[in-house]
Chain A
Amino acid sequence: MKSCVMGIDFGSTTAKAVILDLGGRMLASQVAHMGAVSGEGVAAAIAGALDAAGLAQADIGRTVATGYGRRMLDIADRNYTEITCHARGAVAMVPQARVVIDIGGQDSKVIAVDAQGLVMQFTMNDRCAAGTGKFFEVLARAMEIELEDMGALALQAQQSLKISSMCATFAETEVISLLAEGRSKADILGGVHAAVATRTVGLVGRVGRKGPIVMTGGVARNPAAVHYIEKALGEALILPEAPQIAGALGAALIGLDDYRREHREELEGDDALEAQMALDKACVPGCRGVPELAPPPATAPRGNAAALWKRIQSHL
């Protein structure tokens, strides 16, 4: 029997990997930004997580993939949608969450979840990039600012501007017109974030406010996006410490369920943990609402990233 499981979120703009031990403790997580569904990016995320945990690929008993590139990963034993994995991961991070907002690179989703992190209902944008990470990317490029700086600048908005078009391409045209009118970048960005917030609240409306709302995905790290969504919702969002890894964590937890079920007899004597996991299936044991990284074992092998990277790439 192996000692760990891994979840991989092979997203459209970033790749994330999470490693759990068989007790459900998180040993490592890694986020790699490498561009659209990048094989190099996912290899870096996996190798980085393995190195941080001091593990080799051979130590992983079950690998579950999610994200847009999930079907491309031959090293994964199974794959699940981002909807299922984000639900599971978000409730693991924030047990009281009953609604998950996940704004990813290519789509945005709102998921109603139960206490076990299982999907009750979901909705997502399905037509265009409106209200997604890609929408922010396009507009950051139009305004010649760094994506990471958008949020802070948007929070400096003095005037409320309305971006009426939610098509990324038309919104870009609208933004260029506003720049030509001499509007400040901060005000325009405020309008852009408000438009995304309105779109997101529309999705929340379709699912219904079933309870506390948690936000996951890379956009959750954008303070202006959070601010405008909270303003539009009229309530505070709960933000996990590492919102980007929710999908990978969910994938790892699903893998953990499978692996423990498969090796139930070998895990005898761990009744207390079994009982706890059955009771609160979605939670990383001992978590206080956010995942905590355990320090890697002191004796574990290190520095195998390059070799692993090569090996993983050969499987892509």
Chain B
Amino acid sequence: MEQAAEIEEIIGSLARIAECPSDYAADWESRTGGKVVGILPMNFPAEIVHAAGALPVIVQEDDAAISYGRSLLHEFYCGYTRSLVDQAATGKLACYDGIFLVDHCVALLGAVDAIRFELPDTPVFLAQFTASMDETTTRPQIAGRIGELRQRLEELCGEPITDDAIHRSIAAYNRNRGLLRRVYEMRRAGRIALSGRQMQALVKSAMVMDVEEHSARMARLLSLLEAQPPAPSAKVKLHLSGHFCHAPRPELFDMIESCDVTVVDDDIYTGYRFISTDVPDHADPVEALTGWYFARNNNVPCSTRAQKTVDWESYLGQALENTGAQGVIVLVPKFCEPHMLYYPELRKEFHRRGIPHLLIETEHEGLALEMLKTRVEALVEVIRRPAVIREPA
């Protein structure tokens, strides 16, 4: 097969899995006889599920319109949590042998309550990770929570999770993240011309697939991409920011890129935020996973964590300097309070640095793409006009 066609084929197959993780999970279950564990964003150490011999699948937002879930969760919850509950109410979470999470916000906790109500026979376990990163008590608390996770997963899977198994899983996931980061590095350097939709498919599929299988496809994809000629772009270079819990709709990427834009970097959950950080070496695998939790927020800060030594806006400023991105599009899911409340800080920093930017509020029910396109085009026109400090709202 010709290289370009094989690239398309690999990415296309990963995109199909990312679109329908439950089909993949059912197939994996029938092949292996293992348990499938649904995990919720954002900081869940999937390695520990993998070490238990189960398949960790990050439950994605479903495109379907919210139906029965409406009676379980109010409209003022974010689209992701409403979708989770609707999936529970419509039988789409039946493929999971358990639902596990470590992060919390008001919306996610509400969704978990509704899932428990709707699926009383499904084990649902919250090992709440402390969000105050600077407290001296936080690190031992996180280690304790990971220990609780380990115990609950052992109960669910019926096997002890050994340190060696966790170490092997850490190595497998570190390799997978490294492969994905290499694609990101190539995009930043203008070596490849993968679209936002394609990049999302790579990361989203990593969230739902068996890690070794995903890495095998990624390794082949990388070897093909490395052999391609460079693909420098004369389009306006933008950074996509936000959406730290679930995937923006791919059609949003298509629309943005249709405005003579190339996306060179992002810090979204189904993007660089997810793959930014490897689990550090440590003799004790629980300590290693604890360290990963702290390192993630150092590498790509999140507004849901309270940490004095890092902040999201400084990270963004530095990221733009590194990649040469000329502006930022901030994607805020409607009713995402941690993001909405933090946005003024981002905006101040953009203004201080003279970074053109645009705020797009996304929602489960879809987007007025044509009107949004006018706004993105206006941002592009602002960037291409002479430099003064401009600040599209």
Interface residues of chain A, those whose CB is within 8 Å of chain B, are 68, 80-84, 106-107, 114, 118-127, 206-207
Contact = CB atoms under 8 A, between A and B. Distances in A.
B378 interface: yes
Given A81-B378, A126-B372, A118 B386 contact: yes
Contacts of B371: 106-107, 124-126
Contacts of A207: 393
Q: Most chain-A Cβ atoms within 10 A of its Cβ — which of B388, B390, B393?
A: B393
A81 B374 contact: yes
B377 interface: yes
Given A83-B374, A120-B390, A126-B375, 15 more contacts: A81-B377, A83-B378, A84-B385, A106-B371, A114-B388, A118-B385, A119-B378, A119-B381, A119-B385, A120-B389, A122-B378, A122-B392, A126-B361, A206-B393, A207-B393
A172 B23 CA distance: 45
Contacts of B390: 118-121
Contacts of B370: 68
B103 interface: no
Nearest to A84: B381
B382 interface: yes
A81 B381 contact: yes
Nearest to A114: B388
Interface string B353-393: 00000000100000010111011011001100110111111
Contacts of B382: 84, 118-119
14 contacts: A81-B377, A81-B378, A82-B374, A83-B375, A83-B378, A118-B385, A119-B378, A119-B382, A120-B390, A121-B390, A121-B391, A121-B392, A124-B375, A126-B372
Contacts of B386: 118
Contacts of A123: 392-393
B374 A121 contact: no
B363 to A, nearest CB: 9
Interface in B313-372: 361, 368, 370-372
A120 B379 CA distance: 10
Contact of A127 (B368, B388, B392, B393): B368
A144 B368 CA distance: 30
B340 to A, nearest CB: 14
Nearest to B358: A122
Given A124-B371, A126-B372, A126-B375, A80 B393 contact: no
A207 B347 CA distance: 12
Contact of B393 (A114, A118, A122): A122
B231 to A, nearest CB: 25
A80 B381 CA distance: 8
Nearest to B359: A123
A126 B371 CA distance: 6
A125 B393 CA distance: 11
A125 B372 CA distance: 10
Contacts of B392: 119, 121-123
Nearest to A107: B371
A105 to B, nearest CB: 12
Contacts of B375: 83, 122, 124, 126
Contacts of A206: 393
Nearest to B360: A126
Given A81-B374, A118-B388, A126 B368 contact: yes
Nearest to A82: B374
Nearest to B393: A123
A46 B270 CA distance: 47
A120 B393 contact: no
Contacts of B391: 120-121
A121 B379 CA distance: 9
Contacts of A120: 388-391
Q: Most chain-A Cβ atoms within 10 A of its Cβ — which of B386, B389, B391, B392?
A: B392
A80 B378 CA distance: 8
A207 B385 CA distance: 19
A73 to B, nearest CB: 15
Nearest to A83: B378
Contacts of A107: 371, 374
Contacts of B388: 114, 118, 120
A121 B391 CA distance: 5
A15 B371 CA distance: 18
Nearest to B361: A126
B360 to A, nearest CB: 8
